[in-house]
Amino acid sequence: MSHLPAELGYAETHEWVRTEADGTLTIGITDHAQDALGDIVFVELPETGRVLEAGQVCAMIESVKTASDIHAPVAGEIVAINDRVSEAPEAVNEAPYDAWLFRMRPEPDAQPALLDAEAYRKLID
């Protein structure tokens, strides 16, 4: 059973979300998601400056088995992307909670509907 960092929030679509000190959100995919995907070979990230609705597909991860959409956990603007995962997609397999995909600045008063680690574990078990 994989370790789920308690400080993160989790979307039912298998993204993890960390709230940063400046109010931005860092988003990646969970260990469960990378394990289900298998060897990741390509990551397509959103453009910085793109404004998204909550739940909107904004990125894609391809593995040797399949492709999977990544969803915005909240309405807001993309403020940074992690070029490292584009150049070395296997980093997501190796360390899914370190290999973040993008950062967002949520719209004022936008709160992502996230599960805590315990609720996410129940979802994936």
Count of CB atoms situated within 10 Å of the CB of 65:
12
Confidence of residue 71 (pLDDT cuts 50, 70, 90): very high
- Polymer length in residues for the chain: 125
Confirm if 22 and 78 have CB atoms less than 8 A apart.
no
For 20, 63, 69, 102, 104, the CA distances from 76, given in Å and listed in that order, are 15, 27, 18, 12, 6
Q: What is the pTM of this model?
A: 0.94
Q: Over the stretch 77-125, which tens digit does the pLDDT of each residue have? A: 999 999 999 999 999 999 999 999 999 999 998 888 899 999 999 999 9
Give the per-residue pLDDT at 1.
45
Residue 70 clears pLDDT 50, i.e. is over it: yes
